[in-house]
Chain A
Amino acid sequence: MSARREPVGTGRVVPMRAAAGEPHGAARLRHHVVTLLVENKAGVLVRVAGLFARRGFNIFSLAVAPTHDPRFSRISIVVDVESAPLEQVVDQLDKLVNVVEITELHPLEAREAELLLLTVSADAVSRSQVIQLAEVFGARVVDVGTDALTVRFASSPEEIDDFEEVMRPYGIRELQRTGRIALPKLVRED
């Protein structure tokens, strides 16, 4: 792992970035996951989102939920920007009084997960195929209608992308994703 050269004394841990000009999957790996532990107070999300909006950074996905300690919530934000400007935002986020802790993860260093709910057309002819495919992916049918099924799938964002693609020919009627959440990969001794 190549940590970028940092000045002495910042105490900052800089995660590895996707190298410029990386041939495969470079665009996909440009995104960053920023997770914040914040005080569970009114207006916090606006302050956090405001720092991205101010710079014209689009938030790709966002997940907010309380933690085991009711005083705090965790916000997971996925943004698609270069590392350098993001570093500034992260430093600014850290300055927000209600932000307690902040972690920035590169996709290669994170375990990411997401949840999908998807309603897909499934008439008498296609229904069994849809159910079979869902089983192959490990997704679950959670609702059954006359000519449609609703499927729930929790997995890595990439597998969810894949599942979406497989379902598309059957006719996706509605789809919702939660946005990704992430934790750092654990270190393993060799």
Chain B
Amino acid sequence: MELTGAQSLIKSLEQQGVEVMFGLPGGATLPVYDPIIDSSIRHVLVRHEQGAGHAAEGYAQVTGRPGVALVTSGPGATNVVTPLANAYMDSTPLVVVTGQVSRAAIGTDAFQEVDITGITAGVTKHNWLVTDASDIPRVVAEAFHIATTGRPGPVLVDFPKDVANQRTTWSDPGPVDLPGYSPPVDPDPQAIAAAADLLVRAERPVLYVGGGVVKASASAALAALVEVTGAPVVTTLMARGAFPDSHPLCLGMPGMHGNYTAVTAMQRADVLVALGSRFDDRVTGKVDAFAPGAKVVHVDVDRAEIGKVRRPDVAVVADCRAAIEALVAAIASRSGDDAADPSRLAPWVAQLDEWRARFPLVYDADAPSGASGAGRSAVKPQFVIEQLRAATPADTILVSGVGQHQMWASQHWTFDQPRTWVNSGGLGTMGFAVPAAIGAKVGRPDRTVWAVDGDGCFQMTAQELVTASAEQIPVKIAILNNAYLGMVRQWQHMFYEERYSEVYLSPDLPDYVLWAESMGCVGLRVHSPEEVLPAIEKANEIDDRPVVVDFRTDSMEQVYPMVPSGASNDDIVVHPSQQGELR
């Protein structure tokens, strides 16, 4: 059957099972947008291409399927660079199609021409410039294969306008043939045996769980590993929900704003089993002082992660689930002296419990004294998160922006399922929350989707709430409005003698309620602690449009604990009320 390149592209996307894409048309993608009218694929028209990319990420993070975005050439393409970089950092599968000027015009500085394959080479797993329409089925198949296998990540397909208009035929490309690409799957049994040896003999083990466990859908395998070994678990920012916070052996989040017990358990561990985690500087603090006494087992599907930061004693290059299952089987099959015995870990668990009792996550619940001045409020941001958690269904998807509110969300929310937490970890992209929440809701319309956003972040991408209203995507946004670029303010507070430079925003410019209403949302405002729960309940009842709640929170609140940048994790700064506890 003869068809155009554009029709071939859409058909290829349909063949890949794409059900939705996020995008915004332009000159170079006009031919591609025509067959969309007749396609089974839903197209969500965003208001800015960054929104398309982040929405695709939100969709991918909650469904595990690749997110798809379609943007035009030039500025459309450059607008999607931030989401690509974000997805690259957080290993989110994304297929982005960019329009390009016609082949003959490439390299002539034609209108809306940019070298997007060049620009994005460093932030994609791979990218393609399609130079002939007959290549389309193969390129699309390769794109989805690469985005979703091994360590997932974003890919980009650059699609010249004349290729979209070219007459061509479509045929099934068959299995992909990529001689330079063969991600590992099965673990090396010898490495698994060595890892099992270390773990079984450990006296103070910690399972250091990262986003790879979520990506590999390895939560059940992880639970089995905890069961056979009795080893405690820390879940990094990217892994919140990979192991339930309600489990007695879940220590919560480690790292710069991790809790005392999670951080200190790693420091004192004798065996650290890194599962789909990458020794990020926000987790390790000063690398030389990180987990100094620990023998390290590193499980990762990406060989380049092995030894990048910390040289492991045992490396397992494999799919995380396959590796954990193999580890469980290896440990379960042992007997006698070699067998795992969780009861041996009783002293370690007692130590952890003692730390947990002494250093719980706390905040000053009292109204600030002299609560006047810009941004002072009796509403504590942590209290809002706690109330939100208590008043929403257990399987609620929580999305966040970047800043203090993100850390409080991760700390004070209790996660019980994987893929219920969507945030920008590696790149720390302000403006992620609103579009990512939209993508998450599109991916899981059956779930309640709340975003906890900062006032600064909200202002970066709020316009996507117009998209949400127009497309009837009822997301709920809780703005923790502290009138500041709070996280930057916190660093200026702690490390620049409270010299505040360019961090004040204002609590009421813009007026978030009016803004929300102008975008077709319901806008609510909360000034006092008593109003918090009623506002959340009201928002929960609205299901026909997006809701924005402007929580006026206390600007003076700091995120504790904190490991100062570049310091050792041993120098963790706990909440002022607990500082006497540190010996």
Q: Which A residues contact B (CB, under 8 angstroms)?
A: 7-11, 38-39, 42-43, 46-47, 50, 54, 71, 87-88, 91-92, 94-101
14 A-B pairs with CB atoms under 8 Å apart are A9-B187, A9-B315, A10-B317, A39-B180, A42-B129, A43-B117, A46-B118, A54-B122, A97-B125, A97-B126, A97-B146, A97-B178, A100-B179, A100-B180
The answer to whether A9 touches B317 (Cβ under 8 A) is yes
List B contacts of A98 (CB < 8 A): 180
The answer to whether A94 touches B190 (Cβ under 8 A) is no
Interface size class of B (residues with CB under 8 A): 20 to 34
Interface flag for B308 (CB, 8 Å) = yes
Question: Which residue, A7, A42, A46, A47, has most C-beta atoms of chain B within 10 A?
Answer: A7
List A contacts of B307 (CB < 8 A): 7, 10, 87
Interface flag for B529 (CB, 8 Å) = no
The answer to whether A8 touches B191 (Cβ under 8 A) is yes
List B contacts of A88 (CB < 8 A): 304, 308
Smallest CB separation, A133 vs chain B (Å) = 45
In the bound assembly, the distance between CA atoms of A92 and B311 in angstroms comes to 16
Smallest CB separation, A54 vs chain B (Å) = 7
Say which residue of A9, A47, A87 sits within 8 Å of B194 (CB atoms). Answer: A9
Closest chain A residue to B194 by CB distance? A8
Find residues 349-373 in chain B having any chain A CB closer than 8 Å to their own CB: none
Known contacts A39-B180, A47-B121, A100-B180; is-contact A9 B308 (Cβ 8 Å): no
The answer to whether A50 touches B315 (Cβ under 8 A) is no
In the bound assembly, the distance between CA atoms of A100 and B178 in angstroms comes to 9
The answer to whether B315 touches A10 (Cβ under 8 A) is yes
Find residues 290-309 in chain B having any chain A CB closer than 8 Å to their own CB: 298, 302-304, 306-308
Closest chain B residue to A90 by CB distance? B304
Per-residue CB contact flags for chain B residues 114-147 toward chain A (1 = under 8 Å, else 0) read 0001100110011001000000000000000010
B interface, by DSSP: helix, strand, loop or mixed?
mixed
Smallest CB separation, B300 vs chain A (Å) = 11
Say which residue of B118, B178, B191, B302 sits within 8 Å of A9 (CB atoms). Answer: B191
List A contacts of B126 (CB < 8 A): 96-97
Smallest CB separation, A159 vs chain B (Å) = 35
In the bound assembly, the distance between CA atoms of A11 and B315 in angstroms comes to 9
Interface flag for B342 (CB, 8 Å) = no
Known contacts A7-B307, A47-B121; is-contact A95 B302 (Cβ 8 Å): yes
Known contacts A9-B314, A97-B146; is-contact A50 B190 (Cβ 8 Å): no
Say which residue of A7, A11, A38, A50 sits within 8 Å of B180 (CB atoms). Answer: A38
Interface flag for B181 (CB, 8 Å) = yes
In the bound assembly, the distance between CA atoms of A47 and B119 in angstroms comes to 11
Interface flag for B543 (CB, 8 Å) = no
A interface, by DSSP: helix, strand, loop or mixed?
mixed
Interface flag for B471 (CB, 8 Å) = no
Say which residue of B117, B178, B311 sits within 8 Å of A7 (CB atoms). Answer: B311
Interface flag for B313 (CB, 8 Å) = yes
In the bound assembly, the distance between CA atoms of A91 and B122 in angstroms comes to 15
Known contacts A92-B304, A94-B303; is-contact A8 B180 (Cβ 8 Å): no
Interface flag for B312 (CB, 8 Å) = yes
List A contacts of B298 (CB < 8 A): 7
The answer to whether B303 touches A8 (Cβ under 8 A) is no
The answer to whether B146 touches A94 (Cβ under 8 A) is no
List A contacts of B316 (CB < 8 A): 9
List A contacts of B304 (CB < 8 A): 88, 91-92, 94-95
In the bound assembly, the distance between CA atoms of A97 and B179 in angstroms comes to 8
In the bound assembly, the distance between CA atoms of A142 and B311 in angstroms comes to 53
Closest chain A residue to B308 by CB distance? A88
Known contacts A91-B303, A92-B304; is-contact A9 B180 (Cβ 8 Å): no
In the bound assembly, the distance between CA atoms of A50 and B125 in angstroms comes to 14
The answer to whether A97 touches B180 (Cβ under 8 A) is yes
In the bound assembly, the distance between CA atoms of A92 and B180 in angstroms comes to 13
List B contacts of A39 (CB < 8 A): 179-180
The answer to whether B121 touches A50 (Cβ under 8 A) is yes
In the bound assembly, the distance between CA atoms of A97 and B125 in angstroms comes to 8
Smallest CB separation, A48 vs chain B (Å) = 10
Closest chain B residue to A51 by CB distance? B122
Closest chain A residue to B131 by CB distance? A42
Known contacts A47-B121, A87-B307, A100-B180; is-contact A9 B188 (Cβ 8 Å): yes
The answer to whether A10 touches B179 (Cβ under 8 A) is no
List A contacts of B312 (CB < 8 A): 7
The answer to whether A10 touches B303 (Cβ under 8 A) is yes
- Among all A-B residue pairs, the 9 with the closest Cβ atoms: A9-B191, A91-B304, A100-B180, A7-B315, A97-B126, A9-B315, A8-B194, A10-B315, A7-B312
Smallest CB separation, B318 vs chain A (Å) = 9
Closest chain B residue to A102 by CB distance? B180
Closest chain B residue to A39 by CB distance? B180
List B contacts of A54 (CB < 8 A): 122
List A contacts of B180 (CB < 8 A): 38-39, 96-101
The answer to whether B306 touches A10 (Cβ under 8 A) is yes
List B contacts of A97 (CB < 8 A): 125-126, 146, 178, 180-181
The answer to whether A50 touches B303 (Cβ under 8 A) is no
The answer to whether B308 touches A7 (Cβ under 8 A) is no
In the bound assembly, the distance between CA atoms of A88 and B303 in angstroms comes to 10
In the bound assembly, the distance between CA atoms of A46 and B308 in angstroms comes to 23
In the bound assembly, the distance between CA atoms of A5 and B121 in angstroms comes to 33
Smallest CB separation, B95 vs chain A (Å) = 14
Say which residue of A11, A42, A91, A101 sits within 8 Å of B188 (CB atoms). Answer: A11
In the bound assembly, the distance between CA atoms of A71 and B178 in angstroms comes to 12
Say which residue of B146, B178, B302, B314 sits within 8 Å of A8 (CB atoms). Answer: B314
Closest chain A residue to B312 by CB distance? A7
